[in-house]
Amino acid sequence: MTTNADGHQSTQSGVAVSGSSLWLRLLILSTTSAGLALLVTAVVAAVLNGGQGALSVAFGGALVMVFFAISLLIGHFVGRNNPSGAVGLFVATYFIKVIGFAVVLFVMGAPDWLHGRWFMIAAVVTVVVWQAAEIRGFSKARLQIYNDPSPGEGGQHGKA
């Protein structure tokens, strides 16, 4: 039995049974992993720089998590109906996110309470942990590349 990107499992008869979306599972795994890493980082920041450091960690981490979560949500909602179109939408959304986040940050500017070093540390920690969790999640996923053979088809060696 294998699972495709939408989380549907194929049975021996080739019929898919519904399951949870790979994209949502990756979102939960990545968010949980990054959240735990940010919690540790925030505690260290609070000890060294007080509430300002911890708040900067939360802001930097949340910004990165939202950035990455948008892509996984697109995969969930678009990928199940149009898997090949999802890749193009990923690329387009990536550029929109980069420009959008840059505009927001430049227009908003750095708040007075923001501790730049902890903001940057949190962003880097979040990116590294999020990506590691996604890679681990993808490596555990069983994606079906080929259709299962029909019961009347031959075995591995082309028996008919």
105-118 confidence digits (pLDDT tens): 788 888 888 999 99
Q: Tell me the per-residue pLDDT of 31-84, one tens digit each, with 9 for 90 and over.
A: 999 999 999 999 999 999 999 999 999 999 999 999 999 988 888 888 778 777
Does residue 148 fall inside a structural domain?
Answer: no
Number of domains comprising the chain? 1
Q: How far is CA 105 from the centre of its chain?
A: 22
pTM of the predicted model as reported, rounded to 2 decimal places: 0.73
* Angstrom distance (rounded) from CA 84 to CA 30: 24
Q: Domain range for residue 57? A: 2-9+17-140
What pLDDT score was predicted for residue 143? 66
Query: Rounded to whole angstroms, what are the CA distances from 76 to 70, 83, 87, 144, 160?
Result: 10, 10, 12, 17, 39
Does residue 114 fall inside a structural domain?
Answer: yes
